[in-house]
Amino acid sequence: MPTTVIDLDDLDLFVSGDPYAAWTWLRENAPVYWNATSGGGGYWALTRYEDVVEVYRDPSSYSSRNGTVLGGSYRSATDTASGQMLICSDPPEHRLLRQHVHKAFGAPMMERAGGFVRRYLGAALDRLVADGGGDFAVDIAPLLPAGLLAAMFGIGRDDAMRLLGLTRTMIGYRDGEYVGANTSSMALVAAQVEIFDLLADLLDRRRQEPGDDLVSMLVAARTNGRALNESQILYNALNVAVGGNETTPFTASAIVETLIGDPGQESRLHADPGLLGTAVDELFRWTSTNAYVCRTTTRDVTIRGVPIPAGETLTLWNASANRDAEAFPHADRLDLGRTPNHHVAFGVANHRCVGMSAARLEITLLMEELLARGLRFRLAGPVERLASNFMLGIKHLPVELA
C-alpha cells in the first residue's frame, strides 16, 4: 500500500509530481479506484488498458452526455451542450453529428491546412534558430493549431491566435497563468461567452457568404432534408476549436521534451527519417496529452468485481492505459520503431478523435521541419507545467540549439 492516498484531483501531482508513478501503482493495486474529492463526492478511475478500451466500446452503458471533463465545461446534465455537441452526445444523435463534422476533415481541407501550418511553422523555426533558442511552448507550438484553424475556419492568423487564447483559458481554467485575476469558474464562463460571440459572428457572415470552411459546411449540412440548428452549429464549431487548439501544441512541446530526455532515440530518428511513421504514433502513445476522458454509467455495472451504480462518473485514463505492460511490451520504454502500436491517445470506438488526421498532419509536419533543419535542442531553463489533470500540458519549455 502507498503511504499516502493517491489523489488524481491533486493538481500538484501534475505540475511537480509524477503521475506516471501513481498510475503504475493504481494499475497494479487498484485498477478500479474510487477517487474521493474534497467536496465530498468522487469518481471512479480506470487505469488498465483492457478496462479503458472496454468502457470506450460500450456507449450504451457508459454515456458521454454529461460531458467528458471533470468539473470543467459541459459537466451538468442539464447543460445545453448535452446531446448537441459531438463530444457530449450518445448514439443515435452522435452518429448524425459526427458525419457532418467528419466531412470538414477531408483531403482538400487537410491539404490547405498543411500549407498554412508549414508556412507559419517554418517562419517561427527560422526565427528561433536565428535567436539561438527560445520558449518552444510559446514561440513554436501554438503555430500548429493556428495554421489549422486559419484553414478550417477561413480566418486570418490574428483571429486564429485570439481563438487559441480563449480556448486555452477554457482548458487551463484552473491555472493562474491563463485566468489572471478572475476566479477559475468566472474565467471559464467569460472565455466561453467570448468564443460564442466570435463564432456567432462568423456564423452570420457564413450564412450570407458561404465558403468552404467548417462553419459553412455545418450550415449546409442536412439530415433527411433537415438542417442543423444554430446551437448545434456553434457547439460543434466550438468542439473542433477546443479539441484542436490545446492538444496538438501541448503534444508538440511534450515531444520536444521527450526527445531532449532520450538523445539515443532522437539520434535514431535523425539517422533514419524513414522511421517517422512509427515514431509519430509512438510519440502520441508516450505523451498522451489528453490524460483522461469521463463517462457516466447508465445502469449498474461491475468492473473487475467492483459494483458501480448507475449515474456514477468514470474516468478513463488514456495516459495510464498507454503505459500498461500487458498491452505494450516494454511499455515504459520509448521505441520510435514500435509496431504494432494500438495506443489509445485518441480514444477508441465511436468518439475516437475526429481530428486525428489533423493532429497527425501537424505533428508529422513539425517533425519533418525539425529533421530537415537537423534541429536538436537542449533545455535552457526550468520546464513549467499546466495546472490540470485533464491536459498534460507544458506552458514553458525554454530551449537552446544543441
Residues that bind ligand HEM (CB under 6 A): 64, 68, 86-87, 98, 148, 239-240, 243-244, 247-248, 251, 289-290, 293, 318, 345-347, 351, 353-355, 358-359
386 contacts 137 by C-beta, under 8 angstroms: no
Burial of 293 (0-12, 13-18, 19+ CB in 10 A): buried
> Which of residues 279 and 353 has its CB atom nearest to ligand HEM in the complex?
353
Closest CB 303 distance from ligand HEM, rounded Å:
17
> Which of residues 133 and 336 has its CB atom nearest to ligand HEM in the complex?
336
Closest CB 179 distance from ligand HEM, rounded Å:
23
Closest CB 208 distance from ligand HEM, rounded Å:
25
> Which of residues 133 and 355 has its CB atom nearest to ligand HEM in the complex?
355
**Which amino acid makes up residue 83?**
G
- Looking at the DSSP bridge assignments, the partners of residue 314 are 44, 295
The number of C-alpha atoms within 13 Å of 128 and in the hemisphere containing its C-beta is 28
Residue partners of 45: CB distance under 8 A and separation at least 6: 8, 26, 32, 33, 34, 35, 292, 314, 315, 317
> Which of residues 33 and 62 has its CB atom nearest to ligand HEM in the complex?
62
Closest CB 278 distance from ligand HEM, rounded Å:
16
For the chain, give the number of residues: 402
3-state secondary structure of 302: strand
> Which of residues 73 and 247 has its CB atom nearest to ligand HEM in the complex?
247
Closest CB 102 distance from ligand HEM, rounded Å:
8
DSSP code for 384: E
Closest CB 400 distance from ligand HEM, rounded Å:
26
DSSP code for 114: H
Strands of the sheet with 398-401, listed across from one edge: 133-135, 398-401, 377-379
DSSP string over 49-99: HHHHHHHHT-TTTEE-TT-SSTTSTT-STT-TTTTTSGGG--TTHHHHHHH
The answer to whether the Cα torsion of 229, 230, 233, 236 is positive or negative is: negative
> Which of residues 64 and 253 has its CB atom nearest to ligand HEM in the complex?
64
Number of H helices, E strands in the chain: 15, 14
67 torsion bin: left (phi>0), alpha (psi -120 to 50), beta (else): left
Closest CB 183 distance from ligand HEM, rounded Å:
27
> Which of residues 196 and 380 has its CB atom nearest to ligand HEM in the complex?
196
> Which of residues 133 and 288 has its CB atom nearest to ligand HEM in the complex?
288
Closest CB 108 distance from ligand HEM, rounded Å:
15
Closest CB to ligand HEM belongs to which residue?
355
Closest CB 10 distance from ligand HEM, rounded Å:
22
Of 202, 246, 280, residue with least CA distance to 72: 246
**Which amino acid makes up residue 73?**
S
> Which of residues 37 and 350 has its CB atom nearest to ligand HEM in the complex?
350
Closest CB 252 distance from ligand HEM, rounded Å:
9
Residue 215 host element (H or E): helix 214-220
> Which of residues 75 and 351 has its CB atom nearest to ligand HEM in the complex?
351
